[in-house]
Amino acid sequence: MPRTISILLLAVLSLTAQEFKRSQDETLGNEMAEEIRVLIIDGQNNHGWAGTTKAMKATLEATRRFSVTVSTSPGKKGTKEQWAAWRPAFKDHQVVVGNYNGQPWPDAVNNAYLAFVADGGGAVNVHAANNSFTNWKEWNKLIALGWRGPKFGDRVTVNDKTGAQIRTLKGKGPGAGHGRQHVFLVTVRAKEHPIMKGLPTWWKHAKDELYHGQRGPGQDMQILSSAWSDPKSGGTGDHEPITWVVPHGKGNVVTTVLGHHWGGQKDFDALHCVGFQTILARACEWAATGKVTIQVPKGFPTDKATSISAPGEISW
Ligand code: ZN
């Protein structure tokens, strides 16, 4: 075949392939919308923050709905100059994922974060992110409940039968903790919330820490899911909140206590749970846009079986 013809043929074929891809995307309802800009904040955490960021970035990118940037704070030995130079570009993004549990941020960063959310930006805080910033009053409002002692504030659990919130006052009952890592059943409490819509009411989460006794102002929170904390695993015997949302100005803050991963831990069960990945992706989309277009993937866990997949193996 003459060279020019084969080049032309190639061009036509590749155009056709693109057309096919596009029409397939339209059929699937993935209108090729602009990617949602996500900023993950890490740099300090008693957990394996580098591995956690890597896993979450891979999950978000695998959905083809997000472009992900990471801003890593100075470490514990960061100099004054390094902290003065660290200014995450919240405003260039639509949603900020918190994977940070460490020393307080500079006031300028705190203020920029609050302004970002108040102006309509989304925030999604994962696992130990709610352990941080005990003395930052506004932060405690945004997360509603954090890893704090019993005297810090109220505790909120869920009545399994009615789904109603149960408030335990400051000073009474257990403070923050968790039992042994184990597989546990998550109960969806807000079935019509866009993040939860279409999920099975009960699904088995892969081995993780089940946080209990979280404390804080606990105001304006909508609990999207909970899990029964089994005393046999060192839990409380109560239905502890797992994922919840709190509005702030024009923005929304999603907190999920799922997603434990130690530095050096070999498995990624909690982060590679298809349930966790679905919640993460949908929470980011919802917090950024107010809508969820990401479908529940095939292979989502059931009430009988966990489901663990590396991010690239899930077809979204
Ligand atoms: Zn943990």
Alpha-carbon distance of 283 to 138, in angstroms, equals 21
pLDDT in tens, 170-211: 999 999 999 999 999 999 999 999 999 999 999 999 999 999
Alpha-carbon distance of 167 to 34, in angstroms, equals 42
Alpha-carbon distance of 140 to 212, in angstroms, equals 17
Q: How far is CA 62 from CA 4, 11, 23, 65, 286, in A?
A: 37, 28, 20, 8, 17
Q: How far, in Å, from the CA of 80 to the mean position of ligand 1?
A: 29
Alpha-carbon distance of 274 to 131, in angstroms, equals 24
Alpha-carbon distance of 182 to 155, in angstroms, equals 23
Q: How far, in Å, from the CA of 47 to the mean position of ligand 1?
A: 6
In this predicted structure, the answer to whether residue 123 has a pLDDT above a threshold of 80 is: yes
The helix or strand, by DSSP H or E, that contains position 67, with its residue range, turns out to be: strand 66-72
Q: How far, in Å, from the CA of 110 to the mean position of ligand 1?
A: 24
- The 8-class DSSP code of residue 252 comes to E
Q: How far, in Å, from the CA of 209 to the mean position of ligand 1?
A: 6
Place of tokens 């024009």: 250
pTM value?
0.90
pLDDT in tens, 14-63: 545 555 444 444 444 445 569 999 999 999 999 999 999 999 999 999 99
Q: How far, in Å, from the CA of 250 to the mean position of ligand 1?
A: 30
Q: How far, in Å, from the CA of 134 to the mean position of ligand 1?
A: 17
| Length of the chain counted residue by residue | 316
**What ranges do the domains of the chain cover?**
33-313
Place of tokens 């993040």: 195
Q: Which fold has domain 33-313?
A: Rossmann fold (3.40.50)
